[in-house]
């Protein structure tokens, strides 16, 4: 990344560690950027000095005014729900943990869904 590189909400970037992602709106913190990466990497808050991001495509097809902090929150909740689902499947398949723990996980998952719906 060059010192002059600037990023806009909706820009597509490439990380050598996390792969391809899109810049999200987030609380402004100088020297940091929030990116939603494809696949399992999910949403990351990165220090630009170390992230080594490469801009792949400038934001042209995304209405950056339509992206809000709620969009970033929704993406984060969605990623966390997917991670929770994966944990659930592992517990069920690998460890045979009893229903009470699985019920607790399901309650947390349902609450995350409710929060996501409230943000809509």
Task: Tell whether 51 and 87 lie within a shared domain.
Answer: no
Q: Where are the alpha helices (DSSP H) in the chain?
A: 48-51, 69-90, 99-119
pLDDT at position 16 is 93
Which structure tokens are listed for 7?
A: 């990023």
Q: How far apart are CA 97 and CA 104, in angstroms?
A: 12
> Regarding predicted confidence, which is higher, 13 or 100?
13
Reported residue count of the chain is 120
Task: Tell whether 42 and 74 lie within a shared domain.
Answer: no
Task: Tell whether 115 and 74 lie within a shared domain.
Answer: yes
Task: Tell whether 73 and 113 lie within a shared domain.
Answer: yes
What total number of domains does the chain contain?
2
Q: Is residue 85 part of a domain?
A: yes
pTM over 0.85: no
Q: Is residue 95 part of a domain?
A: yes
Statement: residue 120 has pLDDT above 80: no
Percent of the chain with pLDDT over 90: 13
pLDDT at position 99 is 62
Give the model confidence (pLDDT) of 57-114 as tens digits. 776 545 555 556 667 667 767 777 777 777 777 777 777 766 666 677 778 888 888 8
Sheet holding 54-57, edge to edge: 42-47, 32-37, 19-24, 12-15, 54-57
Q: How confident is the model at residue 2 (pLDDT cuts 50, 70, 90)?
A: very low
pLDDT at position 78 is 75
Structural domain harbouring 74: 69-119
């Amino acid at each position: 990344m060059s010192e002059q590189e600037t990023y806009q909400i909706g820009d597509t970037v490439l990380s050598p560690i996390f792969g391809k992602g899109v810049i999200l709106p987030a609380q402004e913190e100088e020297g940091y950027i929030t990116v939603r990466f494809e696949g399992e990497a999910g949403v990351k808050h990165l220090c630009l000095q170390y992230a080594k991001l490469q801009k792949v495509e400038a934001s042209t097809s995304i209405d950056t005014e339509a992206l809000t902090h709620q969009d970033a929150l929704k993406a984060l909740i969605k990623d966390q729900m997917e991670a929770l689902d994966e944990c659930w499947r592992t517990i069920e398949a690998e460890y045979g943990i009893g229903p009470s723990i699985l019920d607790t996980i399901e309650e947390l998952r349902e609450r995350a869904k409710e929060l996501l719906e409230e943000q809509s």
